[in-house]
């Protein structure tokens, strides 16, 4: 199993640009989570999906952030327009139906907004 796949691994962009982060969950998993990790705020849950449907987006910081899951094998997190304070590592995680809520994390995307 390839595990959770995230792309790109690193992204450097300028303030105001649109950024799209991508995630492929583990095959057969029905829940997908997007997290953000910073030194100041630690690990924060942004949004999660069950069966491709967004369940809880209360962690999404503001309207500049949006997430989609068009099918069971792909999700995107978009920031438009990006700001320097969005610089962080963004993790995607997935969960299967009988795993006691154990989540499997991807390697993360390190985003730097200049």
Q: Which stretch binds other proteins (CB under 8 A): 20-28, 60-68, 70-78, 99-107?
A: 99-107
Q: Is 53 exposed, middle or buried (0-12, 13-18, 19+ CB in 10 A)?
A: exposed
Angstrom distance (rounded) from CA 8 to CA 20: 9
Q: What distance in Å separates the CA atoms of residue 38 and residue 68, rounded to the nearest whole number?
A: 23
Show the binding pattern over residues 50-89: x = contacts other proteins (CB under 8 A), - = does not.
x----xx---------------------------------
Under the binding rule (CB under 8 A), the answer on residue 34 touching other proteins is no
Q: Taking the complex as a whole, how short is the minimal distance between the CB of residue 43 and other proteins, in angstroms?
A: 5
């Amino acid at each position: 199993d390839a595990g959770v796949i995230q792309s790109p691994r690193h992204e450097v962009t300028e303030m105001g640009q649109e950024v799209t982060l991508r995630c492929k969950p583990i095959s057969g998993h029905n829940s997908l989570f997007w997290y953000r990790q910073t030194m100041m705020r630690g690990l924060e849950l942004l949004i999660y999906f069950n069966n491709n449907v967004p369940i809880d987006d209360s962690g999404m910081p503001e309207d500049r952030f949006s997430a989609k899951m068009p099918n069971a094998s792909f999700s995107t997190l978009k920031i438009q327009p990006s700001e320097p304070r969005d610089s962080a590592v963004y993790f995607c995680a997935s969960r299967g139906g009988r795993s006691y809520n154990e989540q499997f994390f991807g390697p993360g995307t390190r985003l730097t907004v200049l």
